């Protein structure tokens, strides 16, 4: 079999296994949690949110172990940029996204804080154990604050998290069936991440581009596929507001959870290229999101078109720079 064919098969196979693995992990963990009597609110805040970020986490850890930090950090920064500009852009074109003011005040602030923290550690160069521990601690604090804030309040935001948990794919069987399914999901995710990273490294080498560019584009969009599918389906069903919560939660988890745990387990150097451009694009996308939301507490179609145009321009810039 042709070597190039094997490489692309590895890349595509890795993306498929990552998507299946993340879904299977969420299905199993959610089933086990429900059988153990965990509240839907807590499940929605933790297991579902972190489960959808598992592909990013395992991919980043695998990339560090493979000696490709550009893929690791590019995966996080690129995913967050794609989540806002690509996923919310597509969602808003399908249906305007109405925003809950109270929920966005808390989650939006945390998103901005997480984005600023990400910028700071990237500009600092080395992302080490201390930075990782701080980010993980911030994520845990956010989950606790969100849980305590919603636990005794029957509002739309609490209902959203509970619906997320209730709508999460469930598995047949009891506690052990759920645990077994979660283990299978972890294995699929690990294998998928290895195939994806191996294929991405070879493609970057063959095309003469940096693994950072591959991480920011192919890997980032690939690991964001679960969020994209969820958001587009929600918009088609008339629940575009779910897409915004999905993206904000994913971006917070990506920085504080994925980048934090990666740095905690395997400290690494952030590539200078990301500090020069890509982290600022992510920060600008976050600022644009906040601006659009604050001007009318909704994201309308023309704003979604701006998101998509900005993402297309960014990808074109990366492509031109990679071939220059």
The 10s digit of each residue's pLDDT in 197-221 is 777 777 777 777 777 888 888 788 7
Q: Which residues contact 15 (CB under 8 A, 6 or more apart)?
A: 192, 196, 222, 225
Residue 266 φ then ψ, to 5°? -150, 80
- Give the predicted TM-score (pTM) of the model: 0.82
What token pair was written down for 179?
């645990």
Q: Single out the residue of 249, 264, 225 nearest to residue 55, CA to CA.
A: 225
Contact 63, 204 (CB under 8 A): no
- Tell me the per-residue pLDDT of 57-110, one tens digit each, with 9 for 90 and over: 888 888 888 788 888 888 899 989 999 999 999 999 988 888 877 777 878 899
Q: Which residues contact 322 (CB under 8 A, 6 or more apart)?
A: 207, 209, 210, 213
């Amino acid at each position: 079999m042709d070597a190039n064919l094997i490489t692309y098969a590895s890349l595509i196979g890795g993306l498929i296994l990552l998507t299946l693995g993340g879904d299977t992990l969420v299905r199993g963990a959610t089933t086990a949690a429900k059988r153990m009597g965990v509240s839907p609110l807590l499940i929605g805040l933790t297991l579902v949110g972190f489960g959808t970020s598992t592909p990013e986490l395992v991919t980043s850890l695998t990339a560090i172990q493979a000696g490709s930090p550009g893929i690791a950090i590019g995966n996080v920064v690129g995913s967050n940029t794609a989540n806002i500009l690509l996923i919310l852009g597509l969602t808003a074109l399908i249906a305007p996204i109405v925003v809950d003011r109270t929920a966005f005040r808390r989650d939006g602030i945390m998103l901005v804080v997480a984005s600023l923290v990400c910028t700071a550690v990237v500009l600092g160069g080395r992302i080490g154990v201390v930075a990782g521990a701080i980010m993980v601690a911030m994520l845990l604090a956010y989950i606790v604050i969100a849980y305590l804030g919603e636990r005794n309040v029957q509002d739309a935001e609490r209902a959203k998290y509970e619906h997320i948990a209730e709508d999460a794919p469930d598995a047949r069987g009891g506690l052990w069936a759920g645990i077994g399914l979660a283990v299978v999901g972890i294995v699929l995710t690990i294998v998928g991440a290895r195939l994806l990273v191996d294929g991405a490294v070879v493609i970057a080498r063959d095309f003469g581009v940096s693994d950072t560019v591959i991480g920011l584009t192919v890997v980032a969009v690939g690991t964001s596929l679960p969020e994209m599918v969820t958001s587009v389906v929600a918009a088609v069903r008339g629940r575009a507001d779910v897409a915004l919560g999905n993206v904000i939660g994913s971006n917070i988890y990506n920085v504080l959870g994925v980048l934090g745990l990666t740095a905690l387990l395997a400290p690494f150097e952030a590539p200078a290229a990301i500090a020069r451009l890509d982290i600022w694009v992510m920060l600008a996308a976050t600022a644009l999101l906040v601006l659009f939301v604050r001007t009318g507490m909704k994201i309308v179609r023309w704003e979604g078109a701006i998101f998509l145009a900005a993402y297309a321009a960014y990808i074109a810039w990366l492509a031109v720079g990679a071939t220059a």
